[in-house]
Amino acid sequence: MKNFKVLLTAGVLMAAVGGAFATNASKNAEDAKFTQFTGYIFQSGHCVEKNAKCQNVNTGILCTETATGGAQVFRMTATDVCTQQLWRLP
């Protein structure tokens, strides 16, 4: 009976550790589905970097200067060309 309890405890522990690794691997795979970009706005004839991290996958919510709104930010594709829409990170 004592061996059974030890084996059961070890089995439960191994299952918990395996579940934790599987959950973390799943999250990393989810994060790898998009590319993160720095956001820019066009200001005074130049693309000005804003402290906004955005993605190129459409989440339905446009990326803005702040999480609560502000100016829409874009991806810079060439020198002073910042017109590609970016989307808020999940």
Give the tens place of pLDDT for each residue, 17-44. Answer: 445 444 555 555 555 566 888 899 988 8
Of the candidates 39, 24, 25, the one whose C-alpha atom is nearest the C-alpha of residue 87 is 39
Give the DSSP letter of residue 80. Answer: T
pLDDT in tens, 37-68: 889 998 888 999 987 889 989 999 999 987 66
| Ranges of each domain in the chain | 1-33, 36-88
50 burial via Cβ count (<10 Å: 0-12, 13-18, 19+): buried
